[in-house]
Amino acid sequence: MALLTILFFLDKRLNLVKQDVQVLFLFLFIIVYGGVFYGFDSSFNAALYFKEVLTILLGGLMYFGTRYFLAKYGIQFFVRFSIYAYGFILFLGVIELLAIAGLLPMGIKEVLNMLLSGKHHERIQLATMEPSWGARTLIFSMLIYAFYGNKY
């Protein structure tokens, strides 16, 4: 996304619109407000503040990268790409369900979990570190895949 953000600002056809300026001012406000708030706090933790600033900056990179991607390729390409991503998530979910049911060796599930998230749980976790997020991802992925799968 960072490379797409760089391309966003280098592309002469894309201009900053009012919404982009508002987002930039929001990020600036959050960073300055956090700095002032932490400046008056007696237990100021500079490392924590810089982590928060880094998170805000990464969010800005994702915003402008996504905006550039959508402006360049359109929403249909994004939806088709999302369907393939959801298909991969559903594939992981089916493998994990089969392993939990005992139809596949549990070692396959463990290897996939360790490769994709670095942790292993006995429940469905997909590519996330937390099984509850894995279950939410699987549920919402199935709904989106079923809705868009027939349209594109």
Each residue's pLDDT tens digit, 51-109: 888 888 888 888 888 887 888 888 778 777 777 777 787 788 888 888 888 888 888 88
What's the pLDDT score for residue 4? 58
Cα 35–Cα 40–Cα 46 angle in degrees, nearest 5: 50
Instruction: Give the residue ranges of DSSP H helices in the chain.
Output: 2-10, 18-39, 46-101, 106-116, 131-149
Q: How confident is the model at residue 22 (pLDDT cuts 50, 70, 90)?
A: confident
What's the pLDDT score for residue 21? 81
Contacts of 125 (CB under 8 A, 6+ apart): 96, 113, 117, 119, 131, 133, 134
Instruction: State pTM to two decimals.
Output: 0.52
Q: Is the pLDDT of residue 19 over 60?
A: yes
Say which residue, 143 or 63, is predicted with more confidence: 63
What's the pLDDT score for residue 73? 82
**% of the chain surpassing 90 pLDDT:** 0
What's the pLDDT score for residue 98? 86
Distance CA 27, CA 57 (A): 8
